[in-house]
Amino acid sequence: MAVAEVTEAVPTAPLRSNRRRVVRRILHNPLALTGLAVLAIAVILAVFANWLAPHEPTQTHLDRAFAPPGTAGYLLGTDDLGRDVLSRIMFGLRASLHVGVLAVAFSLVVGVPLGLIAGYFRTVDALISRLTDLVLAFPFLILAVGLAAIRGASLGNAAIAIGIAQIPGMIRIVRSETLRIKSLDFVAAAIVEGASDAWVLGRHIFPNAGSAIIVQATVGIPAAILGEAVLSFLGLGIQPPAPSLGTMLADAQQFASRAPWAAVMPGVAIMLLTLAFNIVGDSLRDALDPKASRR
């Protein structure tokens, strides 16, 4: 059983030391720490919006319409209906994160198994490649347009459209990782030893493709958040009066010269959120890349 011991030891040992090295690299990178801190704040604001928000996000105060930022009780000002911009941003962040996580989860659930299968079994590779080409032929906005036309515009449908659009990328990453790992000696050894396909895929290939999958997911979330903002801005995503950063911008467009803060603040919120995700994603990729120290 010497071979089995080798196959057990090779994939796990470097992974464990790898994890420690990754954490150390991220903790020593001030930019990554800033990104993580911004993300933590955003998540706290979004999750505890019910308690933290100074006002109800949909409550109108018509006598306080167009209050500039800094007005007592309205830190970031109010919009045309006197709704508190800060409270709406907090609930908007919740919607953004919700769609971001939902869409990426969807692309993971569909994309990872398909990517593993495409990379491992040559016979179905061509079929799956044609299917990814097919999905790619419908740009995400066109997909969302189609879904909105068929099923109506909503948060769930926006997440599905964005998730579908992210599946091809996920399949490609997982497929190429599978192809790479499959050609490594310890996998060949396991196959020679008579390990079943399911065992090789689940025990050897999937865990070793993990870091690539994590990086892809981290990159997918900000893309999904931007996608949700675009869809809601166009009226194809979250429907008013439910607060979303995209619908806030669409509303603010009507009175942007009168109350520029209502158009500036939600955009800054989206940018900070996606920037933080992108910084963390980049740092994670650099930390996971063994060649990164060269760069």
Nearer to another protein, 200 or 259 (CB): 259
Nearer to another protein, 60 or 278 (CB): 278
The one among 51, 150, 183, 290 contacting another protein by CB under 8 A: 150
Binding segment for another protein among 66-74, 81-89, 134-142, 195-203 (CB under 8 A)? 134-142
Q: DSSP of the chain, one letter per residue?
A: -HHHHHHHHHHHHHHHHHHHHHHHHHHT-HHHHHHHHHHHHHHHHHHTHHHH-SS-TT---GGGTTPPTTBTTBTT-B-TT--BHHHHHHHHHHHHHHHHHHHHHHHHHHHHHHHHHHHH-HHHHHHHHHHHHHHHTS-HHHHHHHHHHHH-S-HHHHHHHHHHHHHHHHHHHHHHHHHHHHTSHHHHHHHHTT--HHHIIIIIIHHHHHHHHHHHHHHHHHHHHHHHHHHHHHTSSSPTTS--HHHHHHHHHHTTTT-HHHHHHHHHHHHHHHHHHHHHHHHHHHHH-TTGGG-
When asked if residue 120 is in the footprint of another protein (CB under 8 A), the reply is no
Contacts (CB under 8 A) with another protein, residues 15-34: none
When asked if residue 124 is in the footprint of another protein (CB under 8 A), the reply is no
Nearer to another protein, 137 or 188 (CB): 137
Task: Compute the least distance from the CB of residue 168 to another protein, in Å.
Answer: 9
Nearer to another protein, 15 or 292 (CB): 292
Contacts (CB under 8 A) with another protein, residues 210-249: 222, 226, 229-230, 233-236, 249
**The two three-digit tokens of residue 150, written as one number:** 């068929």
Nearer to another protein, 117 or 164 (CB): 164
When asked if residue 37 is in the footprint of another protein (CB under 8 A), the reply is no
One character per residue 250-279, x = contact with another protein (rule: CB under 8 A): --xx--xx--x--xx-xx--xx--xx-xxx
Spatial contact of 185 and 128, defined as CB atoms under 8 Å apart: no
When asked if residue 176 is in the footprint of another protein (CB under 8 A), the reply is no
Cα(148)–Cα(113) distance, rounded to whole angstroms? 27
Q: Which residues contact 14 (CB under 8 A, 6 or more apart)?
A: none
Nearer to another protein, 62 or 149 (CB): 149
Task: Compute the least distance from the CB of residue 28 to another protein, in Å.
Answer: 18
**The two three-digit tokens of residue 208, written as one number:** 């070793």
HSE-CB of 87 using CA atoms within 13 angstroms: 19
Task: Compute the least distance from the CB of residue 175 to another protein, in Å.
Answer: 16
The one among 140, 158, 173, 187 contacting another protein by CB under 8 A: 140
Contact residues: another protein, CB under 8 A: 130, 133-134, 136-142, 145-146, 148-150, 165, 222, 226, 229-230, 233-236, 249, 252-253, 256-257, 260, 263-264, 266-267, 270-271, 274-275, 277-279, 282, 295
